[in-house]
Amino acid sequence: MAPLRFLWLCACLVAAEEFSLAGKSVYFLVVDRFARNQASNTTFCDLSADWINNTGGGYCGGTLNGIINRLDYIQGMGFDCVWITPVVDANGFMGYDAVNIFDIEPHFGTKEDLQRLSEQLHQRQMCLILDIVLNHMRPLVINGRVNLSSIIPFNQESHYHQRNRSHNQSFEEYLIAWPPPPFNPSEDNARLKKLKQAGEADCGHHVAEQTECACFPGNMGFNCPSLSPTDFSTGYLGVLGDLNHSNPFVRQTLLKWVHEMVQNYSLDALRLDTAVYLDRGFLPEVQEAAGVQVLGEATVNNLTFQASLMHGGGQSGLLGLLNFPPFYQLPRAFCGYRIGGDFGDYSLQGTWEDEANMVGLGSVLSLQLSSQTSNFDMMGNFADNHDEYSRLTYYCRYDTLRIRQALVWVFLSRGIPILYYGTEQGLDGHQGPENTKGQDALRESLWHTGYRTDTWQYLFVQKLNKLRKSLGIGVGAAEIKGTSKRTLVFTRETAEADTVWVFLNNGENSTAMEGQTYCPGPAGHLRGRWFDALSGKPMTQHLKKGCFEAPDKFPKVLYRENGKPKP
């Protein structure tokens, strides 16, 4: 068996080298909410699943064929790849709580529909990223009763972790009593706060091991001692059935399933849900079994721990990650929005500070880029998603200038830009009749917008995708040149060894026509004239004394013409 396994792993690694997400841009959509089969349907929908009795549901009618019918819409923005939420037979509309991993969710379509979506994307020279879940299955307790028989193929008690189950507890009693969490964030946060106040510990955007002053998954270390790596990977994620990867049947079945999904549907890459909760030794096995690049979800703010999850530098791991540390800073940087809470105090989450502040974002990016411990071209950058507290449009209070600034960062910073569906239509996650908040509200339907291609957001995303390609900055080095409360300046090295300068600020719409000084800026005496790639206007005259005195507050992307046509 060893020689066969060796050949299989080699073949997988070769396949992973044939295609790379590096340099690509990604459109991320929720299958159930993106497009129905009926092209004329305009009824708004943001149904919630049943998270109380765990009966799931919440389907609005989006399908795989609906996606196929709207590929022109996605490709029109210039995206290279489409990332779709899980499509396996599941308990609820999001698909992250599988019931049967071997079937396609009937609400979405059939296996043939998924194959057809893959084929249609490849005919357009686009790629398909499928979201997969290996950490858990659907809740094991539904309507107050335990029923494993309907879960395929993991229908035995031994298939699930049972950490801290007492010897006199039945499996049902253990589950209904609510399994203990794998860590105690309240205790850790109280301890961290005391250490910080006493000057015995430091935390915040200037500390690589703890870029936020809070203890939560991914912040394991001296200052958060209850976050045991072992408990972390063997504990429960809410009420979901937490799979026991030490069980040979579970481990081998999942690895075989991953490999077959890639092969059967010609998948170009995978997005791995809750990767941070998986056993550290299991991640490289998943990467090898996939044979394509895996982009892991690691909701961490510890840059050192984040780097340890990635393959490279003599260590094994995933080939890519979603880039959460800068994301946690981004809403405050551009829009003054609180997405978290210091020392675990989330009472102000979802509110705004008096002023936006770019320092935290710039600091985290500087720490990250200077570490040189990860492949930053394989980190996915984003401004919002399906899980966090708010959409970009809402947390920027519909301020188009600030939204533009954030989108420029997503698309032009080093990494894989990811746009959450509906951003191009101004979806805000609060369109329902009661202006509801919460995760399900962030997963609203898109069809009621009519898939307009003339919105300013659609056209702006289209322009940013074109600029990435025309400027040659899909991959390549980046450097943070300057950060202040109001500004962020960074550079990107082009494929032709030239330098592109990006200038961002957090000014509001009312200040759009006011000038903005950035320091440093490119030296104006360098050969060639400087232009702003976004407006097409010459900017050489605004380069003064080592700084850039921009004529307005719109984002600027400066490049040297050098006799070549402008983007």
pLDDT tens-digit profile of 38-71?
766 788 998 989 988 999 999 999 999 999 999 9
Regarding pTM above 0.75, the answer is yes
- Report angle CA 180, 181, 183 to the nearest 5 degrees: 130
Query: Looking at the predicted structure, is the pLDDT value of residue 10 above 50?
Result: no
Which has the minimum average pLDDT: 239-248, 429-438, 451-460? 429-438
Query: Looking at the predicted structure, is the pLDDT value of residue 527 above 90?
Result: no
d(CA 331, CA 194): 27
CB 379 within 8 A of CB 415: yes
Q: Would you state the CATH architecture of domain 480-560? A: Sandwich (2.60)
Query: Looking at the predicted structure, is the pLDDT value of residue 7 above 50?
Result: no
Mean pLDDT score across all residues of the chain: 91
Which has the minimum average pLDDT: 3-17, 197-211, 482-496, 545-559? 3-17
- The per-residue pLDDT for 567 is 66
CB 270 within 8 A of CB 292: yes
CB 498 within 8 A of CB 531: no
d(CA 191, CA 194): 5
Question: Whose structure tokens read 């050098």?
Answer: 562
- The per-residue pLDDT for 180 is 77
Question: How is the chain split into domains, by residue range?
Answer: 480-560
d(CA 183, CA 277): 12
* Omega of the bond leading into 182 within 30 degrees of 0 (cis): no
Q: Cβ neighbours of residue 108 under 8 Å, at least 6 residues apart?
A: 31, 32, 62, 63, 64, 87
Q: Give residue 389's pLDDT band: very low, low, confident or very high (50, 70, 90).
A: confident
Q: Which helix (H) or strand (E) holds 286?
A: helix 282-290
Sign of torsion over alpha carbons 448, 454, 455, 460: positive
Query: Looking at the predicted structure, is the pLDDT value of residue 314 above 90?
Result: no
Q: What is the mean pLDDT of residues 73-98?
A: 98
- The per-residue pLDDT for 231 is 82
Query: Looking at the predicted structure, is the pLDDT value of residue 405 above 50?
Result: yes
d(CA 72, CA 84): 16
- The per-residue pLDDT for 371 is 85
Q: What is the mean pLDDT of residues 170-189?
A: 86
Q: Give CA separation, 470 vs 27, 117, 496, 540, in Å.
A: 19, 28, 11, 20
Q: State the pairing for strand pair 487-493/136-139.
A: unpaired
d(CA 293, CA 21): 7
d(CA 564, CA 250): 57
- The per-residue pLDDT for 266 is 98
Q: What is the mean pLDDT of residues 517-539?
A: 87
Q: Give residue 11's pLDDT band: very low, low, confident or very high (50, 70, 90).
A: very low
d(CA 477, CA 491): 8
DSSP string, 98-115: EEEEEEE-TTT--HHHHH
Q: Give residue 313's pLDDT band: very low, low, confident or very high (50, 70, 90).
A: low
Q: What is the mean pLDDT of residues 215-235?
A: 77
